[in-house]
Structure 1
Amino acid sequence: MTLVRGDWFYILLLIIDSFFMTRPYLYAIQNDNYRVGEIFKNKRLRFVYLLDVITVTIFCGIWVAFWLLNAKAFWGFLIALFFFITEFAMYFMEDLPDRKKPLRYTKRAVRCLFTNTTASTAIVCVALAIATKHLADEYMRYLVFFAFPLVYPLFFIIVTSVVNIFEKLNNLRYEKRAEKRLDRADLIKIAITGSYGKTSVKNFLSAILAQKYNVLTTPQSYNTPMGIAKTVNSLDSTHEVFVAEFGARRVGDVKKLMKIVKPTYTILTGINDQHLKTFKTQENIRREKCRILDVGDGVCVINSELKNITESVLLSKKIIPETIYAGIDENADIYATDICVSENGSEFDIAIGEDVFHARTKILGIHNVQNIMLAVAMAYKLGVEMPFILNAIENLEPVAHRQQLIKGNGVNVIDDSFNSNPDGAKFALMTLAMFNTRKVVVTPGLVELGSREVEENRLLGKRIADVADVVLLICNERTEPILRALKESEFGGEIKRYDSLAACEKDFVNTLKLGDTLLILNDLPDIYDDLK
């Protein structure tokens, strides 16, 4: 390889620039399970690439302007140096830190970052060596540096695609290991899925089952194959129950998780149009969610609102599992009645056959009563006695970022920032309506609803108009239908618009008053805010 004296300095700069250049691309794919096929649908990356094009154009102009000067080698060195500094500054300043979902430096992310940095640096070094060997004028070599940012996205896609092949093989090894560790006859395995309510039901059920069993539960939103595999590493012989949340954004996701866990007990929380954009059709959503019912002669607890959908699916099976419908419908097998909800929690009666039990909880919202009933039905089936169930319900803690009530500084905050589906939004507004205060809603709209997105955001705007006194909108294409619906509904309250959630939060000091109740309705993961 032919390089000239001093090229080590450029190689060092290349390594640094490549490292920082990789981060925004890595961040984008990390939030889409490392898929690279649709990377340029990311609005932020398109903007960054446009900045690269402008930067390259400017420095190419400077390069041409110095063509006729003497000592071109010196001036070329300075131009290249300032070009690298400019690129470094641009990517260093890239808005990565302090996001709701920041770039996570997992082992996989580090491997991808290292491989892309190394590969892109090596490719540029080879190109530089070829240019040195075949170009008579050393000044021409600097065009290699200017071309680098323009072709980097292609480098990233190719390198990451190759890395993904090995990562999938590595993931398969972990998944097989988890599958083997879960293959215990004495272990009760419970899987929970649905378009909404999964995490809440999982947490409620785990708290109730802990009254009788030693329970291992997937934490937070560890609802992917690798998340479950990581949790299973903590499984030991003392655990009697394993509770897993199953996430699904595409056809085949639930099927894959069922193969790993092989549960004999499952819960289906609800089905709506969430992730319609990635599922493509409503039928695909229903079919994939209903794969949770493939438990042979096991037990399925189902939201009673889904009876019409699931009955036909169950009848088509060769082996029909035991089915328990639960919820707030009096036609359910186990249901809540005489429900009284307030800003302090809920009280209700639990009807099981001829028996009725009174329960109370500090968890907000009638929808959470429904979630609790799904957990109660499963726990009751697994032999937890009602006094223990009632005690657990009374001591349930709110799930973080899911209608979590936070009181402080004279303002009630209902943090529903992790809910981004139509039903969750409707339930959150029902909860807000219970507060006898001035009501403020901040939202960037609902995401990943495909062809239903405009209509669902329009309906959200109408629901907000019925409840709120002040509406704070984060400006994007999703909040336009909300704004139109507010105007169509002749909303008489105050509407304020912001360019970002950060700008909205900074203005809270001017917007909020003592005694207000603020509903944070989906604070919108940054990756969605980057999508157009």
Structure 2
Amino acid sequence: MESIYLDEIIQATGGKYAGTTKNILIHDVSTDSRKVKPGDLFIALEGEFFDGHDFIKDAVHKGAQAVLASKPVTVKQVPVILVADTSKALLDLAAFYRQKFPIPVIAVTGSVGKTSTKDMIASILSAKLNVHKSKGNYNNNIGLPLTIFQLEAKHDAMVVEMGMRGLGEISELTRIAKPSLAVITNIGVSHLERLGTQENILKAKLEILAGLEDNGVLILNANDPLLCKVDPNVAKNIVYVGVNTPAHYTAYDVRNRGEEGISFKLNLGGQEYDIQIPAVGEHNVSNALFGIACARRLGLSPEQIISGIKNYTPEKMRCTLIEKNGITFLNDCYNASPDSFKAALEILHHLASGKRALAIIGNIFELGEIASAAHFEVGRLCSKFQVAFTAIIGANAPDVARGIGDPSKYKIFDSHEEVVRYMKEFAKEGDVVLIKGSRGMKLEKILDLWEA
């Protein structure tokens, strides 16, 4: 973060000094007292199960140079700024800080693939630019501001992710980030429990336009049945990307190269290029196309784009390959949706060509009324993609089992420990094992227990 004065923070948040008035420099912003560093501003957020005001003394003890609060504070060692709502103040301060940097900002949203697309875009742009990107899935009303606060004068561009659980949330985030380029990856069924229909999910994702710069560009997936029909008047500039379908950037001749990744061909400026992606999964082709569209808009050459793609590395627990005692694990347990399950099972099928494919599967959350049918479909896909055996855990395990059908090809477990005990005996050298489920299933524990 570039240092800012307390008076600027008061200007941005509409706050007032409570007691000591001292226009000191702040070197960073923290909302977690455990992570406070000397020179930080500590913002005391309030949530359903916590109140940051309870940790103000701890934050000051660790070196917080000032505090922003919405309740009277007894601390007298440092300046205190009082506001009506600390959550709103965090957003307002982030919006203020963002405006200090006249650089392009790329915002990514969608039902599936936000993080991997964000990472791909950042990797490509990094071939020419100094890129700042959000860590992991810092994509909500706390994570996005904290990402913005890490912008520095050395950065040429920023790539951020925007998530949501309901209407009105992305419009709040885009107001802060003010993107130059807005990417919507797809419209799936994640959050259907809250939003009711895919049309409402589309409406929520299109809120990203609320903060788009006047001459900004909306980049959409031509393969998505809802996005390909978006009203062309929703934005001044719309660019489509697609695989084997008419678009501004179209990938064709896609080839799966197993553990070596994916390749495809693309025409740029009248010349055909062979693109190699060093990551498994055909979904990465769309991710690369989004990155290519952004890169061309920001002036990167085809050669720089190809270099950036070659340097792409997926984040942990997102289709990463891990080998243990001759067994290959496809670790895709960060999160799950029906669409991402299908993609992961397709990857497993390709990776296990000539080998035995196994799966450890957990629940998909927030599916509402379609939960039973969606989990049945996961089981059906396990059978379609010739998964030899599936270990199932979670409330909808019986639905997955029904989809698989053959009782010899699945077993339902009550705990991670039971899964590991059984699978360590069942899995053999040469097997390929998919691990996948929603974040709340915490299936990363499977690999931790495997090593124990």
Q: How many matched pairs?
A: 373
1:173 shift after superposition: 1.3
Specify the SS of the correspondent of 1:440: strand
Q: 1:338 aligns with which of 248, 253, 256?
A: 253
CA distance in 1: counterparts of 2:421 and 2:265, whole angstroms: 43
User: Corresponding residue for 2:112?
Assistant: 196
CA distance in 1: counterparts of 2:278 and 2:367, whole angstroms: 32
User: Corresponding residue for 1:448?
Assistant: 366
- Listed one character per residue, the Cα deviations across residues 18-67 of structure 1 (whole Å, up to 9, x for unaligned) are xxxxxxxxxxxxxxxxxxxxxxxxxxxxxxxxxxxxxxxxxxxxxxxxxx
For the structure 1 residues 463 and 184, does the alpha-carbon distance in structure 2 shift closer, same or farther, using more than 3 Å as the test?
same
User: Corresponding residue for 2:238?
Assistant: 323
Specify the SS of the correspondent of 1:453: helix
User: Corresponding residue for 1:227?
Assistant: 143
Stretches of structure 2 lacking an aligned partner (at least 5 in a row): 1-31, 36-43, 56-70, 73-81, 444-452
CA distance in 2: counterparts of 1:419 and 1:168, whole angstroms: 35
Q: Is the 8 A contact 2:279 2:313 kept in 1?
A: yes
- Listed one character per residue, the Cα deviations across residues 296-333 of structure 1 (whole Å, up to 9, x for unaligned) are 43111111123654544333x4xx32111112133111
CA distance in 2: counterparts of 1:458 and 1:401, whole angstroms: 24
- Listed one character per residue, the Cα deviations across residues 392-417 of structure 1 (whole Å, up to 9, x for unaligned) are 21221122211111123101100110
- Listed one character per residue, the Cα deviations across residues 452-507 of structure 1 (whole Å, up to 9, x for unaligned) are 1111111111101112001101142x1221111211xxx37531221022321233
User: Corresponding residue for 1:500?
Assistant: 415
User: Corresponding residue for 2:68?
Assistant: none
For the structure 1 residues 308 and 173, does the alpha-carbon distance in structure 2 shift closer, same or farther, using more than 3 Å as the test?
closer
Amino acid at match of 1:314: P
User: Corresponding residue for 1:252?
Assistant: 168
1:113 shift after superposition: 6.5
Q: Is the 8 A contact 2:45 2:52 kept in 1?
A: no
Amino acid at match of 1:325: Y
Q: Is the 8 A contact 1:200 1:371 kept in 2?
A: yes
2:206 aligned with 1:290: yes
User: Corresponding residue for 2:389?
Assistant: 470
Specify the SS of the correspondent of 1:285: helix
1:241 shift after superposition: 0.7
User: Corresponding residue for 2:425?
Assistant: 510
TM-score by length of 1: 0.65
For the structure 1 residues 260 and 524, does the alpha-carbon distance in structure 2 shift closer, same or farther, using more than 3 Å as the test?
closer
For the structure 1 residues 353 and 452, does the alpha-carbon distance in structure 2 shift closer, same or farther, using more than 3 Å as the test?
farther
Specify the SS of the correspondent of 1:228: helix
Q: Is the 8 A contact 2:222 2:228 kept in 1?
A: no
User: Corresponding residue for 2:270?
Assistant: 354
Specify the SS of the correspondent of 2:434: strand
Q: Is the 8 A contact 1:276 1:282 kept in 2?
A: yes
2:437 aligned with 1:522: yes
* Identical-pair percentage: 25
2:332 aligned with 1:416: yes
1:268 shift after superposition: 0.7
For the structure 1 residues 504 and 393, does the alpha-carbon distance in structure 2 shift closer, same or farther, using more than 3 Å as the test?
same
Specify the SS of the correspondent of 1:356: strand
Q: Is the 8 A contact 2:188 2:339 kept in 1?
A: yes
Specify the SS of the correspondent of 1:242: strand
Amino acid at match of 1:444: G
1:335 shift after superposition: 1.7
Trace 1:206-217 onto structure 2 (pairs within 5 A). Answer: 206-217=122-133
CA distance in 2: counterparts of 1:388 and 1:278, whole angstroms: 42
User: Corresponding residue for 1:431?
Assistant: 347
Which range is displaced more, 108-117 or 503-512? 108-117
TM-score by length of 2: 0.76
Specify the SS of the correspondent of 2:360: strand
Q: Is the 8 A contact 1:443 1:523 kept in 2?
A: no
CA distance in 1: counterparts of 2:368 and 2:83, whole angstroms: 29
Q: 1:304 aligns with which of 199, 215, 222?
A: 222
CA distance in 2: counterparts of 1:496 and 1:307, whole angstroms: 36
CA RMSD of aligned residues (A): 2.7
Q: Is the 8 A contact 2:365 2:438 kept in 1?
A: no
User: Corresponding residue for 1:112?
Assistant: 50
CA distance in 1: counterparts of 2:186 and 2:34, whole angstroms: 33
Amino acid at match of 1:424: S
CA distance in 2: counterparts of 1:465 and 1:350, whole angstroms: 34
CA distance in 2: counterparts of 1:343 and 1:306, whole angstroms: 25
Amino acid at match of 1:227: G
